[in-house]
């Protein structure tokens, strides 16, 4: 995060180091601090488990920090210890994030002579010394010259590598719009404004969080006419023990951008990936994803997934591996490329698959290590403004809040995925703001007067036998299940 751009705290100079080769008190402080930094992770269940593997793209772009220099102030060496935890794949705890933020603020303030004019000569370390410590600013990422001409799987991989090179923002700064990000993460804006923020992200090359990564992914994929871009958000809960020894649960929210290949229908059997002759998964699937997270397993997905339910299941399994329970999954509609004032539907299919349950305490509001995507207050306002109009919308909201099993949820996701391929669904959402409501095949047959075993509709077409086929038929004949 921003710790990579840090300098030593005010008043500490390199001349304080001992002249001989014996380790000084500052070096000893770093050696003593390493176990305490690791031990503090017990306050967060997500950090207590084994770290997720770092993605290949991240590993290629990071320079491992050198050994601590006794000429560096203790504050810089402490930042270096935190940096090593992050590079090793271990997320920082809330306490470690607050400590890193204070160290960065002290270090950066040394570079400001007056006002907002930055004076690099006031820093206590030279660029070469920062480089030797592994704390120099990373180089700006660049895309290959033939980026838009690459095959889709390679394009997706290059786009993810570009996002990974910006690194995850573990610190943020208090002057940000919401106190934790460097850029605006307001999603209630038209596509043109969101892409303008993405241009700023690309230009400044500062660390980002998940919402900013989705904005940047929309910009990187703007010219990909062979795919649809669909946002998918997750709300999860993880158990932790507070200072009083009480077990509580904290909510986290995360968002990624699903990339759906056009002209390719979902796999007939969900959960079966395309395999080569050696039984290895290939990049010929219909679905992939772009994003960033503290955990590599919650970010990128290559083009190896045959259906939307399969790729969402992979995220659910990744959450289970780090001790999180998925509470809600929200899938939007394909993001339009034009006109610039077009709106983005971030939530169209909302499925509840878990409850926060007892012992939630103050966990509903999350805390500083939230991935900062969707706020439930925003959801409540949106629901109140739309559900108060008609009884039909009230029924829709009740259906969305109904607790589902994961098997029921994947049937809903597949049905929504089939329906969302029609532009009519987006146009209807843009006009009335209604969300997707899943109607089981048997229930729909009863509503339309068809026999339970299947029959013909008013146009003489045979009734569908799967939820996805039912949603696709409804989208095509002008009567989507909304």
pLDDT in tens, 308-357: 999 999 999 999 999 999 999 999 999 999 888 999 999 999 999 998 86
Residue 207 and residue 110 share a domain: no
Rounded CA-CA distance 122/83 in Å is 23
DSSP 301: E
Residue 239 and residue 296 share a domain: yes
Ranges under pLDDT 70 in the chain:
1-73, 107-136, 172-179, 264-283, 357-400, 442-482
Residue 36 and residue 128 share a domain: yes
Rounded CA-CA distance 376/94 in Å is 21
Q: Is residue 185 part of a domain?
A: yes
Residue 305 and residue 279 share a domain: yes
From 353, 329, 351, 366, select the one nearest 249 (Cα to Cα).
366
Residue 168 and residue 54 share a domain: no
Q: Is residue 455 part of a domain?
A: no
Residue 161 and residue 114 share a domain: no
Class of residue 381 by CB neighbours under 10 A (exposed 0-12, middle 13-18, buried 19+): exposed
The total of other beta-carbon atoms located within 10 Å of residue 156's CB is 25
Half-sphere exposure of 406 (CA within 13 A, CB side): 11
Rounded CA-CA distance 23/174 in Å is 36
Residue 7 and residue 82 share a domain: yes
Q: Is residue 250 part of a domain?
A: yes
Query: Phi, psi (5° rounding) for residue 57?
Result: -65, -35
Q: Is residue 7 part of a domain?
A: yes
From 160, 202, 138, select the one nearest 57 (Cα to Cα).
160
What are the structure tokens assigned to 37, written together? 């930094």
Residue 157 and residue 69 share a domain: no
The total of other beta-carbon atoms located within 10 Å of residue 99's CB is 18
Enzyme catalytic residues:
210, 254, 293
Q: Is residue 10 part of a domain?
A: yes
Residue 199 and residue 97 share a domain: no
Rounded CA-CA distance 316/319 in Å is 5
62 close to 87: Cβ distance less than 8 angstroms = yes
Q: Is residue 158 part of a domain?
A: yes
Residue 154 and residue 126 share a domain: no
Choose one of 371, 403, 435: the last residue of a domain.
403
Q: Is residue 377 part of a domain?
A: yes
Residue 110 and residue 185 share a domain: no
The total of other beta-carbon atoms located within 10 Å of residue 290's CB is 25
Choose one of 69, 104, 132: the last residue of a domain.
132
Choose one of 384, 403, 422: the last residue of a domain.
403
Q: How much is the pLDDT for 395?
A: 57
Domain count, the chain: 2
Residue 361 and residue 309 share a domain: yes
Range of the domain at 84: 2-132
85 close to 38: Cβ distance less than 8 angstroms = yes
Q: Is residue 428 part of a domain?
A: no
260 close to 286: Cβ distance less than 8 angstroms = yes
């Amino acid at each position: 995060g921003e710790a990579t751009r840090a300098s030593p705290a005010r008043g500490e100079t390199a001349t304080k180091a001992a002249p001989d080769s014996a380790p000084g008190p500052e070096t000893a402080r770093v050696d003593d601090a390493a176990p305490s930094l690791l031990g503090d992770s017990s306050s967060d269940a997500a950090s207590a488990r084994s770290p997720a593997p770092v993605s290949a793209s991240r590993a290629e772009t990071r320079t491992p920090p050198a050994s601590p220099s006794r000429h560096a102030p203790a504050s810089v060496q402490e930042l270096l210890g935190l940096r090593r935890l992050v590079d090793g794949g271990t997320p920082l705890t809330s306490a470690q994030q607050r400590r890193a933020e204070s160290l960065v603020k002290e270090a950066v303030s040394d570079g400001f002579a007056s006002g907002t004019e930055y004076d690099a000569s006031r820093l206590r370390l030279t660029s070469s010394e920062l480089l030797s410590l592994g704390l120099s600013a990373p180089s700006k990422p660049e895309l290959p010259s033939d980026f838009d001409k690459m095959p889709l799987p390679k394009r997706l991989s290059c786009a993810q590598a570009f996002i990974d090179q910006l690194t995850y923002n573990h610190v943020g700064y208090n002057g940000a719009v919401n106190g934790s990000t460097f850029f605006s993460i307001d999603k209630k804006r038209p596509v043109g404004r969101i892409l303008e923020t993405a241009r700023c992200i690309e230009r400044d090359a500062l660390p980002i969080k998940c919402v900013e990564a989705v904005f940047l992914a929309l910009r990187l994929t703007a010219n990909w006419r062979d795919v649809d871009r669909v946002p998918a958000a997750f709300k999860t809960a993880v158990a932790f023990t507070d200072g009083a020894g009480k077990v509580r649960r904290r909510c986290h929210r995360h968002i990624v951008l699903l990339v759906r290949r056009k002209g390719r229908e979902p796999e007939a059997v969900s959960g079966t990936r395309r395999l080569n002759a050696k039984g290895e998964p290939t990049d010929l699937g219909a679905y992939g994803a772009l994003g960033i997270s503290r955990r590599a397993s919650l970010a990128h997905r290559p083009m190896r997934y045959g259906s939307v339910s399969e790729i969402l299941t992979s995220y659910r399994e990744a959450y289970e591996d780090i001790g999180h329970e998925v509470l809600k999954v929200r899938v939007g509609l394909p993001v339009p490329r034009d006109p610039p004032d077009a709106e983005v539907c971030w939530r169209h299919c909302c499925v509840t698959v878990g409850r926060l349950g007892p012992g939630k305490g103050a966990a509903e509001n999350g805390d500083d290590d939230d991935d900062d995507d969707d706020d439930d207050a925003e959801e409540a306002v949106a629901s109140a403004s739309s559900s108060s109009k008609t009884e039909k919308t009230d029924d829709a909201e009740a259906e969305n809040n109904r607790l589902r099993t994961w098997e029921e949820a994947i049937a809903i996701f597949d049905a929504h995925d089939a329906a969302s391929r029609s532009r009519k669904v987006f146009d209807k959402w843009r006009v009335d703001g209604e969300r997707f409501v899943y109607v089981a095949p048997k229930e729909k047959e009863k509503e339309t007067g068809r026999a339970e075993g299947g029959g013909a509709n008013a146009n003489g077409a045979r009734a569908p036998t799967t939820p996805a086929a039912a949603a696709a038929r409804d989208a095509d004949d002008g009567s989507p299940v909304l």
